[in-house]
Amino acid sequence: MQRMLPNVLQPSTTDHVPVLADEVRALLALEPGHTLIDATFGAGGHASLLALDLKGKGKVIAIDRDPTVRPYFERFRRTAGVPSRFLRGDFAIVLNQLAENGVKADAILLDLGVSSMQLDRPERGFSYANDAPLDMRMDPSADTSARELVNEADERELERIFRRYGEERFARPIARAIARRRRQRPFERTGDLVETIKAAIPAPARFGEGHPAKRVFQALRIAVNEELDALEEALPAASEMLRPGGRVAVISFHSLEDRIVKHWFREAARGCTCPPDFPVCVCGHEPELRVLTPRAVRPTAREAALNPRSASARLRAAQKVE
């Protein structure tokens, strides 16, 4: 029987609207007594909804590298009705530490998007829409900010970052313009960088799809926070931690992340890896996961209209083979 879930896509005055919330809830299929790990807790939107299915029995482990998350977790802890703990740190590092210590879970969620509390605070420097200090660190104590990267990386490295992480077709002229501008004075603010990007690309491209600085800002954020490396390290740890029948769900927001998740799930779901002409299997390889989403789940038109930040979200999930 298909579970009927309450629809959460209502206008809200809360800090954060969880993306693909009903779909995540259905795919993770939590039950009383289960252990949930929300590896990217943020403002706790997903965790608050998922905790309802525990019905007061179970456990929630929240992970986030951003220290400003703590008040949101404390609010969640007071209202969730289940034992909860918060672990601050990079989710890849924390998940690997938990796996090494034998911690098991029934559901693990990774929401790879930048949280609203980061985007909506100009001083964090994530947004190209506000003039702010050039930062972009999810963990403010991390050594390298976007300011250091933009001012110190050589021109070829900047071009590589923009091309690889932002899929920016004007990566070369933008990197060249940044190198030329910083020789006069270093970049300090997002507004300076936005103006340099606009001046470096052909005029028709400035009025194309999306903001002209969108891809460069995405690339810098990924590089500063080492997001793709963290994802590649986190997925094996998450799979190791799952109990038989347990589930992992990942929400990504651009093709690079989604490609990593798609390929990793596919490889983890493979059985025998012997060449096709072998008469019998000698590798002994067995599937580790079962893919629950043959295609990425996307937001409905209604959700995208109510929450425009959800428009690029893709959700994939897999289940631990018993």
Let me know if residue 163 belongs to a domain: yes
Model confidence, pTM: 0.86
26, 98: one domain:
yes
- How many domains does the chain contain in total? 2
The percentage of the chain sitting over the pLDDT mark of 90, rounded to a whole number, equals 74
Domain assignment present for residue 241? The answer is yes
- Per the prediction, the chain carries an average pLDDT of 89
- Let me know whether 128 and 219 are in one domain: yes
Tell me which residue of 6, 11, 29, 2 sits closest to 303, measured CA to CA.
11
Burial class (CB within 10 angstroms; exposed 0-12, middle 13-18, buried 19+) of 314: buried
Of 3-7, 112-116, 124-128, the poorest mean pLDDT is in: 3-7
Range of the domain at 294: 21-117+227-320
Same domain flag for 130 and 157: yes
Q: Which helix (H) or strand (E) holds 14?
A: none
- Residue 16 has a pLDDT of 64
Query: In this predicted model, what pLDDT tens digit does every residue of 64-111 receive, in sequence order?
Result: 999 889 999 999 999 999 999 999 999 999 999 999 999 999 999 999
Of 193, 225, 257, the last residue of a domain is 225
Same domain, 70 and 127: no
For residues 165 and 27, state if they share a domain: no
**Residues 101-138 as b or e (16 or more Cβ within 10 Å = b):** eeeebbbbbbbbbbbbbbeeeeebbbbbebbbebbbbb
Q: For residue 16, tell me if it sits in a domain.
A: no
Residue range 153-212, pLDDT digits in tens: 999 999 999 999 999 999 999 999 999 999 999 999 999 999 999 999 988 777 766 788
CATH number of the domain encompassing residue 271: 3.40.50.150
Instruction: For residues 79 and 46, state if they share a domain.
Output: yes
Residues 286 and 142 in one domain: no
Q: Answer whether residue 166 is part of any domain.
A: yes
Residues 28 and 247: their CA atoms lie apart, in Å, by 6
> What is the signed CA dihedral for 142, 144, 146, 147, rounded to 10 degrees?
120
Q: Are residues 81 and 205 in the same domain?
A: no
The answer to whether residues 112 and 233 belong to one domain is yes
Domain boundary among 203, 225, 247: 225
Q: Looking at residue 201, which CATH number applies to its domain? A: 1.10.150.170
Q: Can you give the pLDDT at residue 103?
A: 97
In a domain, 192, yes or no: yes
Say if residue 216 is in the same domain as residue 234.
no
Q: Identify which of 253, 14, 7, 234 has the alpha carbon closest to the alpha carbon of residue 109.
A: 234
DSSP 127-193: -TTS--BS---SSTTSS--HHHHHHHS-HHHHHHHHHHHH--TTHHHHHHHHHHHHTTS---BHHHH
Residues 285 and 306 in one domain: yes
Same domain, 309 and 160: no
Domain end among 172, 206, 225: 225
